[in-house]
Amino acid sequence: IARSTKHGVHRGMSSVTIPPPACMLRPLEAPFRYLFGPGPSNVPPRILAAGGRPIIGHMHSEMFGIMNDIKKGIQYAFQTSNNMTLAMSGSGHTAMECAVFNIVEPGESVLVAINGIWGERVAEIAERMGAKVHTLFKTPGGHFTNAEIEQALAKHKPVLFFLAHGESSSGLVHPVDGVGDICHKYNCLLLVDSVASLGAAPLLMDQQNIDILYTGSQKALNAPPGTAPISFSERACHKMFNRKTKPVSYLLDMTHLSNYWGNDGKPERKYHHTGPVSGFFALRESLAILAEMGLENSWSHHTEVAEYLWKGLEDLGLKLFIKDKDLRLPSVTTIAIPEGYDWKELLAYIMKHHQIEFTGGLGPSVGMVLRIGLMGYNCNKANAAMALAALEDALKQCRKSKA
């Protein structure tokens, strides 16, 4: 009970009625897990160490130097010379919302390719901010031809077209060649999601005429979740900096963020929000690792390990969900759920007995697939062999007819 005087509660005297929770008096427990799902993936010691360094102020000159390095690292990873390149303080969804909120004004038309959960999400984000949303639809695993895209662009005349390059809910890597040119023919900007594919499958922002590209920190980049690289072409900047209305979000407003990242040409960077300093340290280290390895090596390494995994899965008698090898996402492999098994039981068994995380489907692919992700640091044949052995064991132990 609080002791009070006529002046109110005594300073320094106990006035709390909620005691310290017992859980807070116990140490943090986070077990080691093999994160072989679609993300986050395991973080290598070098990146953990970078994130564990003493923090500095988010507005210190050294921090601006680190942010400038991150910008260069993203320009390399995206293969872009866009000045408007930065990392969002937040997960991949923050970048999705940033792109849509800044580019689109209420009432404008947006076209979204939906072939899994990511198109669904972007359509909902655009709808919530008052856009007129049109969709192109395929069931999970499907993809769109350039002719289909062109037809929809001609019909709906959107200001923005969304496509997921690495559709992680279905395991599909979507062709992007030519799509940017078609969009520009119809005066539309191309927004591409590479959260699950960056560093694992070839993508060249400038050469492929992508206007807005974003990714996440926690997949092939192997940083902890919580930061999200994004880049805007000149064409995209022209649209977003000549709007009639302010974007619906203050936090994600690119006029502020471009100043925070030193991209607006102004001599002074002003306080906008406190960036995740440790997250930026870790992201810088992950971009450094990618730069040291080289993008092309990273792409071919992911393909080689994925092909080893795919062969092993087929040898176990399993069916890969994406039939065409060229359309399989090397970072996230989808397996058709084998007949006679409960997919939840398989996943629980593998987690319990092998400390390995695989996952089921997501959104429209739930109940259709199992997903195995081997990305960045996790991407090697030893891990693929471990994943295969765990799955083989689970297939022996969990057969339904046994019960």
Q: Quote the CA–CA distance of 273 and 318 in Å, as a whole number.
A: 49
DSSP state of 270: P
Q: Which residues are CB-contacts of 210 (< 8 A; sequence separation ≥ 6)?
A: 176, 180, 190, 191, 192, 203, 233
Cβ-based nearer residue to ligand PMP, 91 or 380: 91
Strand order across the 227-232 sheet: 84-89, 227-232, 212-214, 189-193, 160-164, 109-114, 132-137
Q: Is residue 166 near ligand PMP by the rule CB under 6 A?
A: yes
Binding mask 211-250 for ligand PMP (x = CB under 6 A): -----x--------x-------------------------
Out of 99, 104, 195, 322, name the contact with ligand PMP by CB under 6 A: 195
Cβ-based nearer residue to ligand PMP, 216 or 247: 216
3-state secondary structure of 256: helix
Give, as ranges, the residues between 13 and 42 that touch ligand PMP (CB under 6 A).
38-39
Q: How many residues does the chain have?
A: 403
Which listed range, 7-15, 147-155, 191-199, 336-344, lies at the site for ligand PMP (CB under 6 A)?
Answer: 191-199
- E-assigned strand segments in 194-317: 212-214, 227-232
Cβ-based nearer residue to ligand PMP, 87 or 398: 87
Which is nearest to 283 in space by CA: 93, 94, 88?
A: 88
Q: Which residues are CB-contacts of 105 (< 8 A; sequence separation ≥ 6)?
A: 243, 244, 245
Number of residues that bind ligand PMP (CB under 6 A): 14
Q: In the bound complex, what is the minimum distance in angstroms from residue 16's beta carbon to ligand PMP?
A: 36
Q: In the bound complex, what is the minimum distance in angstroms from residue 26's beta carbon to ligand PMP?
A: 29
Cβ-based nearer residue to ligand PMP, 112 or 398: 112
Q: Is residue 135 near ligand PMP by the rule CB under 6 A?
A: no
Contact residues for ligand PMP, defined by CB under 6 A? 38-39, 91-93, 118, 164, 166, 168, 193, 195-196, 216, 225
